Structure formats: structure tokens, C-alpha cells
Structure 1
Amino acid sequence: MREPVDLRRQRILAAVQARGSARVRDLAAELQVSVVTVRRDVEELTREGRLLRGHGVVRSTVPAREAPTGGLEDADRVAVVVPARHSYLNEILHGARTVLDEAGLRFALHIAPQAAGAERPLVERALEDGARGLLIAPRWRSLAAEEADHGWLAALEVPTVLMERRPRPGSAPHGLDSVCSDHWYGAHLAVEHLVGLGHRRMVFATREDSPTARSLRAAFTRIAGEHPLVEDWAWALSAPDAGQEGPYAAHETAELPALLRKVGATAVVLHGDVDAVMLVQRLAADGVRVPEDCSVVAYDDVVAGLATPALTAVSPPKAEVGRVAAELLLQRLRGAPETGGAVRRVELLPRLMVRGSTRRIDDAADDSGDGSRDSSSGGSTDGSTE
């Protein structure tokens, strides 16, 4: 005997309210009806204002603190903590949310202000509110800030996955699960691309106020220093406000155009996109053409493709980092046997997006031995240094 429509819809409503959210196909399996039938019921309940519909997911309109509790789904509630004003992490958040939505889990997003130690009180509050798992990307603008967070992060008693953060070997949080981009490989892609185009003198400009910046600085230093085809290179801060601390404070911080001339560089790699776009604008104002006089590679690929010319960029797998981190957290929450209890440190490889800001060096011009590259006069002279 077919179940009355009103009764079936009441069961759907009760199931979603009990969990906060649920997948349409899971509801169909539980009620032993077709997905099409559940979708039709959900549409009607949404029209009545009793449910909220997403992509394959249904949410309750009852506030979380008013919804009935109990069951595995309530225990799977998670918190996501990320820094404010960090566009790079937007794609990571999107990837994580896609997985959590698909799993029908409730989660709360917490934005940490730009202040040292801002993440800890947010995490503590989230745990007090019932979060049973944590996805977190601490700001860590300095080594000191990172070390200050080591103790309390390692002491958390809920499954925790670091996103785009790699704790130092032997540090307290080294035993936490983490998912991040392999930034050494990203630096390798940039250098090999430029070397393949004939560039032999380069400048690398990174920030010094993030874990990614510090990883990139170390990677460029090693790769360029050991590469048999790189004749000369230098490192600089990508912008005056990029931070200057730690073991690299004594390195070159001159204005980039002047440093490009000093090195005789024909290419530059900049972290991140915004600093790269601004450098291209400064060079254009000086009559330096990109890529004719100078090749530019950006690192991050958040807005690089919108510049003029569109910038060749190393593109870390941002959305994939969020997706894999969320999947790992779900495995921990559900005690999935495939994790085996072992800590997982996942590294995903970036890609190189070749666009209009890099070109092959003209062999004839490169072999002419024209010393004007090292001169301070002439627009093309400035450009050749990037």
C-alpha cells in the first residue's frame, strides 16, 4: 500500500530537522521511494518555507540550537576556521564545502581576524558549541606565530585537518593530518618553464608573511642555486609591505626594477598575483613591455588570468586541497578503516597555466652580447631584467 503523500513529507521534514541537512538520494533510500519523488516533495516543502534546497542537499529552516539532537549526524558537526581577507582560501573553502554539503553535514565557518592568536578562541568556541571535527588554515604570518599555536593545536581532542599548512618536522602539530599544495613542485614548474624559453637570469620575489611564502623562498633558493642552466638569480620581497623577518631579513629588498637591472635578468617570478599585476603596471609605465622585453610568472593564479596581458601562473590545486581535507576529516569522524589510524600528510601538485606574459628569448638578440642589459638607461634594458 502506497504511503500517503502528507505522511511521507512529514517523515522527510522530521529527518532533515533531526540532522540539520540531508542528501536527497539518502532520503530516497530511507523512504524506499524514487529520487524524483523526494525531489518533488522537497520542492513543495521548500515552497512552503519548511525546507531549504541546495545542490542535491536539503537543509532545515529550524536554527541548529532548536533542532532535535542525537544520532551520528549530530556528532559529525564540524567547524572550518580560516583567516580574514585571504582570497586564495576562497577556492579551498568551496572545495571543502562541496564535500561537506554532499555528505549532508552541518558545519560552521569561522573567520579569524588579522591578529596573532586569533584562531584559538574561535576553535574553543566552536568546540563548546558542539563541533566534533575541525578544518583549519591558521594565518601563521611568522615563524613565531606558528610556534605559538603548536601546543594548543596538538592538544585538540577532535579530528583536525590542517589546510595548506605544513608543520615543521618534529614540531608538536607534526602529528596532525594535513593537506597542502607541493609548493616546491610549483617553484620547479616556474623555473623549468622559463629555462625552457631560454631565460638564464631571473629574479624571484616572494612575500615573507605566510607559510607559503617561506616555502617558496626556500624552494626557489635551492632550485635556482642547483640548476645548471641558471647563470644568476636574486631574491627580493615582492612588495614593501610583504614582511621582513626571520632568517631572510638580510637579503636583497631593493626596488624590483633596479634589482632586475642589477642581475641582468630576463624573467621574474612573483608571489602572489596582485604583486605580479602591480609590477607589470610599473614596468609598463617605464616603457618596459611584457613579455617582449621581460617575462613574468605569477604564483597563486587567483586573478592572474584577468591581467593585461594575462599572466602565466603557477596554479596550486586550491579547490582540491579543500575537497581532500574535508574527505579526510569525514573518514576520521566515521572511523573509516582505510585511514588505518595513521596520520596522513597529503601533498597535491600545482599546474602551470601558460598565458601571455612569457615568451622565448630571441636567440640572435640574446647572443649579441649587448651589455645594455646591465645599463640603467633604455626601456628595453629595464624589461630584460624581469
Structure 2
Amino acid sequence: MREPVDLRRQRILAAVQARGAARVRDLADELQVSVVTVRRDVEELTREGRLRRGHGVVRSTLPAQEAPAGDLADGDRVAVVVPERHSYLTETLHGARTALEEAGMRMALHIAPQVAGAERPLVERALADGARGLLLAPRWHTRAAEEGDYDWLAALEVPTVLMERRPRRGSAAHALDSVCSDHWYGAHLAVEHLVGLGHRRMVFATREDSPTARTLRAAFTDIAGTHPLLEESAWALVSEQAGREGPYTPDETADLPKLLRGMRATAVVLHSDVDALMVVQRLADDGVRVPEDVSVVAYDDVVAALATAPLTAVSPPKAEVGRTAAELLVRRLGESGGHPARRVELLPRLMVRGSTRRVDGDGTDGGADSGTDGGTPPRA
């Protein structure tokens, strides 16, 4: 016999008030009705002011001090571990938090200091506190530090998703879920944009103290080595403090204005864009104008748009990485075992601003040319 509507709604109201919050799909399972039916009931209770509705989540309207103990969030806590002072991941955290809140889960944030092995004790503490799942972005200054974490990461017994981290193929941690930006494609966007504007001699100056930085160096080396239109290219550290994988050759630690002049380079790609802003200032002090003398593309797009002359930048989908990772974790928490690992890659975009311009075939200034309005580079 079908349960009366009023009685079912009273049961929904009682369940939500008892927990403080509940997910629609959980209520549907408990009442043995469809999700659509629960949504209709929730809409009516919300219209009456008896519940508050979110994306997939229902919350009590009782004041916090009156709500009974046992809030849903206490039982559905997800720990997020990220490095301290890492502005790139701020947008990623916002994306993850939004997705977790929509799923009715609470995010417990842990900040790892800049010392080797800092993440492991934080993870162990989070698990002892009852975290049901983990979102992780270890700093991994060096490859050795990264590989030193593989065994304990692979042994974790709760669902875990890595953000902007991709363990080496065949390693113990290879089978962990991960969500990353496709940084090879980001490097490709930067090079094709500059080549499309006539640049044939360029410098790639990047960091080399994180997995993203190491991936970018490898990507630029690969692309430059096979591109039919590049006449000459070089890689160098963007600053003396940006490398952890040395030793480096003198050319790889060369002063950037001097390196650009020596190569007669007309373009430079700089990672990160915080470093890019500082390099542009150094170029100005050395009498090198951007974009009149050299075109600049930054990589990260955290603060590139805030420069006095906003910088063209490759923009990884930082917030979407966090959201996708959190959604994948929520999915894992609702699944039984035996499902294959997922390695998701999201494509960056190119945000064209005022720091790049066209040059003639001989490398002379050909006048300002934005080339594209972002996202798709011009064809060479």
C-alpha cells in the first residue's frame, strides 16, 4: 500500500531535522521511493519554509543550536591536503569545496608545510579523525620525493583522488584516481600561438620544482624538438630558486635578458606567471620592451591578468580540476569495490592579452596582433 503523501513528508522532515542535512538520494533509498518523488516533496517543504534545498542536499531550517546532534557532515567528511603558499591550488580548492557541499559532504582542509614527507602525517591524522575519502595534491619538489610517497599512497584504504598529480606509469601509485590539466596541450597552445604570430626563435623559462613544472619542461623540449617552424629554442630556469633537479648547465641558469639577446629570440614562455611578472620587470630594467621587443606568454594564469600590461597566459582549468576530482571522489564513496581507476585530463585554454604581437619573417616588429580571443591558437 502506498504511503500517504503527508506521512512521507513528515518522515523526510524528521530525518533531515535529526541530521541537520541529508542527501536526496539517501532519503529516496530510505523511503523506498524515487528521487523524483523526494525532490517534489522537498520542493513543497521548502516552499512552506520547513526545509532549505541545495544541489542534491536538503538542510534543516532549525537554528544551529536547536538542530539535534549527528549532522550528516560529521559522517561524510573528506580530507583535502595541499601545500602551503600555493596560489595555483586556491581555485582548485574552491572547485572541490563547491562539489563537496553540493553532495552534502564537509571538506576538512589540511595544509602541508614545505618539508619533505609533510603530507603523510596529515593524512594519517585525517583518517584517525574519521575522513572517509581524500583529495591530495602533494608538493613533490623532486622526483625522488614523489617516488618516495608512492608505496604509502598505494596502501591507503579509503578512496583517494590526486589533483594535478600523476604518478609515474607502472609505479605502486599508478592505479590511484587522478584529475590533471593536460599541460602538454597547454605548452602546445603557447608555442602555436607564438609561431602563428611569426616567432621562430624562443626561450622557455620554467620552474622545475613540482610535478607540473617537470611536465612543462618535458613538454616544451618535446614540442620544440619536433616543430618544423621553430629555428632555435632554449630552456632555462625562470629564476635561481626555481630548480630542485640540478645540477644545471650555465646556459640553463643564464640571465634571461642576456639569453634572449644572445639567441635573438623574439618570444619567451614563462612558468609560473608570478615569476613571469618578475621577469617582465627585469626585462624593463634592462631596456627590453614587452611586446615590442619580445612577446611573453605566462603559464598558470593566476595573476597574469593583473600586471600593469596584462600578460597573455595559458590557463589550466584549475577550479574544474578540483570540482571533477571531488565529484569523482563522491562517486567512489558511493560505489562498491572493483571499479577501474580513472585518470582524467582536462584541457587548458589560451587567454590572449597584450603581451604578444606579430613579427615579420625576419624577426622584426610587424605590429600588434592578438591572434585569437582565447582558447584556440591560430594555425601557423
TM range (shorter): 0.7 to 0.9
Calculate the TM-score normalised by the size of structure 2. 0.82
1:1-386 matches, cutoff 5 A: 12=13, 15=16, 18=19, 22=23, 30=38, 33=41, 35=43, 37-38=45-46, 41=49, 67-68=69-70, 76-246=76-246, 252-335=252-335, 341-363=339-361, 366=364
Secondary structure class of the residue paired with 1:174: coil
What CA deviation, in whole Å up to 9, does each residue of 1:262-289 have, x standing for no partner? 1111000000111111111222223322
* Conserved? CA contact 1:21–1:105, under 8 Å: no
The 1:130–1:276 alpha-carbon spacing in structure 2 relative to 1, beyond 3 Å, is: same
* Conserved? CA contact 1:22–1:58, under 8 Å: yes
**1:68 positional shift:** 2.4
What CA deviation, in whole Å up to 9, does each residue of 1:68-119 have, x standing for no partner? 279xx76543211111111111111111111111111223111112221111
- The RMSD of aligned alpha carbons is 3.2
* Conserved? CA contact 1:16–1:58, under 8 Å: no
Instruction: Give the count of matched residue pairs.
Output: 351
Secondary structure class of the residue paired with 1:175: coil
* Conserved? CA contact 1:23–1:102, under 8 Å: no
What CA deviation, in whole Å up to 9, does each residue of 1:149-202 have, x standing for no partner? 111100001111101001011111111011101111111111111111111111
> Which consecutive unaligned segments of at least 5 residues does structure 1 have?
46-52, 369-386
* Conserved? CA contact 2:79–2:135, under 8 Å: yes
**1:20 positional shift:** 5.1
Q: Which amino acid aligns with 2:19?
A: A
Deviates more, 1:163-172 or 1:248-257: 248-257
Q: Which amino acid aligns with 1:300?
A: D
**1:365 positional shift:** 6.2
**1:244 positional shift:** 3.5
Secondary structure class of the residue paired with 2:122: helix
The 1:118–1:334 alpha-carbon spacing in structure 2 relative to 1, beyond 3 Å, is: same
**Counterpart Cα distance in 1 of 2:344 and 2:363:** 45
Alignment match, 1:383: none
* Conserved? CA contact 1:96–1:319, under 8 Å: yes
What CA deviation, in whole Å up to 9, does each residue of 1:203-226 have, x standing for no partner? 111111111000000110111111
The 1:248–1:14 alpha-carbon spacing in structure 2 relative to 1, beyond 3 Å, is: farther
Secondary structure class of the residue paired with 1:314: strand
The 1:59–1:152 alpha-carbon spacing in structure 2 relative to 1, beyond 3 Å, is: farther
**Counterpart Cα distance in 2 of 1:227 and 1:307:** 30
**1:249 positional shift:** 6.4
Q: Which amino acid aligns with 1:341?
A: H
What CA deviation, in whole Å up to 9, does each residue of 1:126-159 have, x standing for no partner? 1111111111111111112111211110000111
Q: Which amino acid aligns with 2:306?
A: L
Q: Which amino acid aligns with 1:261?
A: R
**Counterpart Cα distance in 1 of 2:249 and 2:209:** 12
* Conserved? CA contact 1:20–1:105, under 8 Å: no
* Conserved? CA contact 1:20–1:67, under 8 Å: no
**Counterpart Cα distance in 1 of 2:153 and 2:358:** 47
**1:42 positional shift:** 5.5
Q: Which amino acid aligns with 2:322?
A: G
Alignment match, 2:377: none
* Conserved? CA contact 2:21–2:71, under 8 Å: no
Secondary structure class of the residue paired with 1:162: strand
* Conserved? CA contact 1:116–1:145, under 8 Å: yes
* Conserved? CA contact 2:55–2:103, under 8 Å: no
The 1:201–1:104 alpha-carbon spacing in structure 2 relative to 1, beyond 3 Å, is: same
The 1:161–1:2 alpha-carbon spacing in structure 2 relative to 1, beyond 3 Å, is: closer
What CA deviation, in whole Å up to 9, does each residue of 1:328-369 have, x standing for no partner? 1112111179xx71111111111111111000004576399x
Secondary structure class of the residue paired with 2:174: helix
Q: Which amino acid aligns with 1:188?
A: H
* Conserved? CA contact 2:24–2:38, under 8 Å: no
**Counterpart Cα distance in 1 of 2:26 and 2:49:** 13
* Percent of paired sites with the same residue: 69
Which has a greater percent of helix? 1
**Counterpart Cα distance in 1 of 2:317 and 2:209:** 21
The 1:13–1:85 alpha-carbon spacing in structure 2 relative to 1, beyond 3 Å, is: farther
